[in-house]
Structure 1
Amino acid sequence: MKKPGMTKRKKQGTRGMAVFLGAALFCTSGVAVSAKGNSLEDVIQKTADYETGIVTDPTVASIGGEWTVMSLARGEASLPDDYFEKYRANVEKYLKENDGILSEYKYTEYSRVVLALKSIGVDSTDIGGYDVQKPLEDFDTVTAQGLNGAVFALLALNADDPEQNKDGELEQKYLSYILEQEKPDGGFSLDDNADQSDVDMTAMTLQCLEPYQDQQEVEEIIEKGIQILSAGQEEDGGYVAYGSDSSESVSQVILTLSTYGIDCNEDERFIKDGKGLYDILMEYQQKDGGFSHTLDGETDGMATDQAFCALVSYERFKDGKNSFYNMTDHR
């Protein structure tokens, strides 16, 4: 049964997105344009230019590394011809210099690299003779990081072929673990001991559940989670995390909504004070093309990486393409 306001993917997993610069938006002949005349394509290209200008030699890194590579690979922005090969070569070099070890205990490092490699069509099981995906078979070490570890492991394992991979024994084990972490209010939290959910972890958890949305239990969790993301908005439409406004929270919600075919700038559940979530995110963009963490802040690496992912995800939704993490249509 399909719930109102939620568009299920086709079996191949299509999605898309559209972004505009400025608070006031209008559409002409189906092309999204901002009040300043900037199209979605222009906004993404400006962010891509900033990222490739700062991250000129992409390598293994939580900021300015894999997330930059993924956003560029999943989008259509122009970039240096050798950018992805440079990243692949740097990953191989890093592995050789560190005996194939990305981390002894933080296995989200492996998940992140696997996702980036799959986004550019590189076999993550053989990079210079190293299998970057194999550590994700270590369920206990992955889940030692809690829900965050399991969510990104499941995203990484399913990314290249969710229809083929999702029912594997390991994937099902992670799925069961994740579903067990649901909080009483229906959402999820980074803090395993918390009684209530938080916006960021709820959004990220919903992203990894996409391949399983045909299951009634999962479908109900997704729908409850989306309602929580709506209810969590402030009166001005933004989100507060750890006591301050947060562009990263806005970005994660946009990515989630795009995954499930919900327009973050048109769905009435996410319109607050006359603005949609895309409008809100654009308030954080700086003149250099990057994004700030807070409204009064300066360009921030993590905020820019997450905003870039959100923009590309929204564009993919608008264009009817696979979701951000369904990489069967990789570069």
Structure 2
Amino acid sequence: MLKRKSKYILLGLVIVGSLWHPSVKALELNKETTDVHKAWNIRFNQNIDFNDEGKNSIRVSDSKGNTITTDIRSGDSKTIIVDAPKEGYKEGETYTIDIGNKIHSKSNVYLKNGVKCIFKINKSDNKIGDSDKYKDQVDNVINLGVNKILKDGVEDQWQAVAVSKHGASVPSSYLTFVQKEINSTKGDMEQPIDYARTVIGLMAIEKDPTNFEGYNLMEKIYNNKQMENESINTYIFSLIALDSGKFDVPANALWTRDKLIKTILDNRTFDKGWDYAGDKADPDMTAMALTALAPYRDRDDVKLAVEEAIDKLSSMQNENGGFSSWGTENSESSCQVIIGLCANGIDPTGDKFVKNGKNPLDVLLEYRTEDGGFSHTKETGCNGIATEQGVEALEAYKMFKEGKGSIYSFK
């Protein structure tokens, strides 16, 4: 341990933005949130040697001093993440994160003094109750949509997510399909984004992507040498995949969370959104980026971009409450907006997204088909992609109302 006063490690706590302190002795940060599954990011000014000693020196407790079991993991080289307990925090309760002085940098510089961070979980106004006029309808439409998917057969990861989040069993045929796909390529998939989508699908069926058929698909994401100059959706879904199970990423990985976040932010359009290839915001890609950035929306470098993108989506909304992509109004655009807003704690039925009395949820429900699915455009019949995304969007809305976090979070 170094004894020079100027050599102590500094700590910043990413509660709302990044807070930096020239001298840390004992610090109380009183923060409030309604997110019962909130993950707190503890950021340091040096690369951290994240080992068992440091991990065990971080403790979360409630107002009575009871220790709360949480997952404490490495974010990037300078960040430690304290996840919420599996069952979530309790509304109305106050918690303390105690950060001990056993944490040290790679160069063996220790945190000078322990730190206390206090936060309270406020009651959310978005809980399902009598005031939620959509509850029964959403539950019914999800049930019909899942039954439709199961009847037609689960053939891709998004269908697996839709079925899994409903609490239904994904047919074993999907696992067999993924096994064949991985083994036929010997773990070397055609495009980098293929690893991300496969990981998300595996998480939906509770399979470990770090050891699937003998392959570590997570490493195929964070150490992928082919990911340079890929399309924006590759970076978006790679980040979503890394966060789907809160996987650790080595500090020396080619694609850390920080690098993926920076790449996503660097690829914004001039009008404060995202597009697949153009320079003007597209609602689908903007919403997908919001979904990926949601766990980091309290970071200074992310917060403004998220706020501006939400404003951009509101300004892009059609007069009837729906959304158009590539000049065509369609159900999937509304789906992605609903998912992206819900991931960021924004009510898609709120005033900001009401146009002439209708919101994206109202519009999405207009695309239902008689067989329980959804159409791509109105009155064109059931469409498989529209159905899986429609169910996912409604499940995302339901999870938002229940305070259960992102639809792509599985742990």
Instruction: Normalising by structure 1, report the TM-score.
Output: 0.81
Shift of 1:93: 2.7
The answer as to whether partners of 2:16 and 2:299 remain within 8 angstroms in 1 is no
Q: Which has the higher strand share?
A: 2
The answer as to whether partners of 1:213 and 1:222 remain within 8 angstroms in 2 is yes
Unaligned stretches of 5+ residues in structure 1: 15-26, 59-63
Deviations 1:209-263 (A, max 9, x none): 1221121120111110001111101111111212211111100000011111222
How far, CA to CA, are the matches of 1:31 and 1:196 in structure 2?
35
How far, CA to CA, are the matches of 2:221 and 2:360 in structure 1?
34
The answer as to whether partners of 2:16 and 2:298 remain within 8 angstroms in 1 is no
Identity of aligned residues (%): 30
Alignment of 1:135-146 (within 5 A): 135-146=220-231
Higher mean C-alpha deviation, range 164-173 or range 40-49: 164-173
How far, CA to CA, are the matches of 1:312 and 1:287 in structure 2?
20
Counterpart of 1:161 in structure 2 is: 246
Counterpart residue type for residue 287 of structure 2 = A
Structure whose CA Rg is larger = 2
Partner secondary structure for residue 50 of structure 1: helix
Equivalent residues, number: 294
How far, CA to CA, are the matches of 1:245 and 1:189 in structure 2?
16
Counterpart of 2:208 in structure 1 is: 123
Deviations 1:50-77 (A, max 9, x none): 000011xx4xxxxx4110101122233x
The answer as to whether partners of 1:158 and 1:165 remain within 8 angstroms in 2 is no
* Deviant stretches of 4+, over 6 Å: none
Partner secondary structure for residue 285 of structure 1: coil
Closer/same/farther in 2, CA of residues 99 and 139 from structure 1, 3 Å limit: closer
Partner secondary structure for residue 257 of structure 2: helix
Counterpart of 2:353 in structure 1 is: 270
Closer/same/farther in 2, CA of residues 258 and 120 from structure 1, 3 Å limit: same
1:75 aligns to 2:166 (yes or no): yes
Counterpart of 1:245 in structure 2 is: 329
Cα RMSD, aligned residues only: 2.6
Counterpart residue type for residue 335 of structure 2 = S
1:302 aligns to 2:385 (yes or no): yes
How far, CA to CA, are the matches of 2:388 and 2:357 in structure 1?
27
Q: Which has the higher helix share?
A: 1
1:178 aligns to 2:264 (yes or no): yes
1:284 aligns to 2:359 (yes or no): no
How far, CA to CA, are the matches of 1:322 and 1:84 in structure 2?
25
Instruction: Normalising by structure 2, report the TM-score.
Output: 0.66
Counterpart residue type for residue 149 of structure 2 = E
How far, CA to CA, are the matches of 1:236 and 1:33 in structure 2?
18
The answer as to whether partners of 1:84 and 1:120 remain within 8 angstroms in 2 is no
Counterpart of 2:293 in structure 1 is: 209
How far, CA to CA, are the matches of 2:359 and 2:388 in structure 1?
21
Counterpart residue type for residue 48 of structure 1 = V
Q: Which has the higher contact order (CA 8 A, sep 6+)?
A: 1
How far, CA to CA, are the matches of 2:364 and 2:250 in structure 1?
32
Counterpart of 1:42 in structure 2 is: 140
How far, CA to CA, are the matches of 2:183 and 2:280 in structure 1?
43
How far, CA to CA, are the matches of 1:108 and 1:10 in structure 2?
27
Partner secondary structure for residue 321 of structure 1: coil
How far, CA to CA, are the matches of 1:299 and 1:213 in structure 2?
36
